[in-house]
Amino acid sequence: MIEKKDSLAIGEYIKNFARKHSLFVLAYGTGCGAIEIPPTMTSRYDAERFGIRGAATPRQADVLLITGYLATKTLKRVIRVYEQMQDPKYVIGFGSCTINGGMYWDSYNTINSLDKYIPVDVFINGCMPRPEAVISGFVKLQEYIQEGKADGWRKYQNNIEEYRENQKRIIKNWRMPDYNL
């Protein structure tokens, strides 16, 4: 006989299995790395064979892909997009700029570390990462989803005050609504 806790675990396993094979991606082309997305999605590398495809709006997307450096002005839009997405949702930081600022590390108007402002589930390093690296990053995300470890969205909810403090420290004219918190 299947215990209640086992049936919950099986249910979660099946849900995660479905989630990881159906990733609708909103690619926010913030930096030069965005140029690697078309070859990743089209016939040569064919990301759709892994269940990865584009989404038209934040409300239909599972994954937010940030493709490089982020100006402080753009960060506000990215936060707004992220908060409009439905849970569970995932973020991939693409390129060295999302990790430590990359070649813009001391720029006056870009951020250095994306995960201070929104939670990042997977980083793909490189400047710029090739399509093979992008696919490998998605496969890593799929592993985390299956194992229940892609829980940045939960971390965001639980630590919203800390994220808001970081966000408002850098975005002076905040004035925008809170979505889905």
The contact set with ligand SF4 (CB under 6 A) reads 31-33, 68-69, 95-97, 102-103, 127-128
Q: Minimum distance from CB of 84 to ligand SF4 (Å)?
A: 24
Q: Minimum distance from CB of 52 to ligand SF4 (Å)?
A: 20
Residue with nearest beta carbon to ligand SF4? 68
C-beta closer to ligand SF4: residue 45 or 123: 123
C-beta closer to ligand SF4: residue 101 or 153: 101
Q: Minimum distance from CB of 61 to ligand SF4 (Å)?
A: 21
Q: Are 140 and 80 in contact (CB under 8 A)?
A: no
User: Which of 116, 127, 125 is CA-nearest to residue 156?
Assistant: 116
Q: Minimum distance from CB of 161 to ligand SF4 (Å)?
A: 30
- Alpha helices by DSSP H, listed for the chain, are 4-20, 37-41, 72-84, 96-100, 131-147, 152-158, 160-170
User: Which of 30, 25, 17, 102 is CA-nearest to residue 64?
Assistant: 25
Strand order from edge to edge, sheet including 52-54: 52-54, 23-28, 63-66, 90-94, 122-124
Q: Minimum distance from CB of 25 to ligand SF4 (Å)?
A: 17
Please give the Cα distance from 116 to 164 (Å, whole number). Answer: 10
C-beta closer to ligand SF4: residue 125 or 167: 125
Please give the C-alpha separations between residue 41 and each of 35, 50, 109, in angstroms, as whole numbers. Answer: 11, 11, 31
Residue 110, SS3 per DSSP: strand
Rounded to 5 degrees, φ, ψ at 53 are: -150, 165
C-beta closer to ligand SF4: residue 33 or 58: 33
C-beta closer to ligand SF4: residue 16 or 96: 96
